[in-house]
Structure 1
Amino acid sequence: MTYDDASWQRPGPGSEPPAPERTGEAVPPTGYAGPPPTQQPPAGWRPPTYLQPPPPRQLAPQDIDKIEAQEKDARTLTYGVGLVAAAVMVVLSCLLCSRVLF
């Protein structure tokens, strides 16, 4: 099948566009017929189930006071590490600035 540029050019004023039969294109169907009909699945279409899963287990009880104490300890450690890192950065900055100025 050969393609020519005539099918892509704009029609002149007052002329009709070429019909699909003449350009080799298929004529699109008119209207919408709707979705295809559905069919019920046959009986027994699911595989048989032999085992039932066990019911979920109970979670272990939580000690809220112990959890809060551990979170407080972790927060204290985090703040301590942050303060030490900030102090080291301040000392290094002071050393760098003193070397540049003097």
Structure 2
Amino acid sequence: MIRESSAVAARQNLGDLLNQVQYRNDAVLITKDGKPVAALVDVALFERIRRMRDEFIRLTDALGQTYVGADPAVAEAEIAEAVSAARKSRARQTPKSRKVKAR
């Protein structure tokens, strides 16, 4: 479950919030003046996000090197085609019961 807490309340109840994150697998969205400024998440989720970000950076760097000096229109068309193929492949691999319907 994702809970919301003001920065002041988070400071006052940090121990309780840490327990909720660690033992109940909750996440806490910390707000300041009603605006989200930070999130308190389980370390396993944080590590997953960090690995995904690192992989994204690695892939975009590799992709950028592939198209150095190429015609931008050709590069965009090839990338769009690859993205479309990857999405179709992923859709075939995803069990229908796990797909989320758009509202």
TM-score by length of 2: 0.30
Larger Rg: 1
- Answer 1 or 2: which has greater strand percent: 2
TM-score by length of 1: 0.30
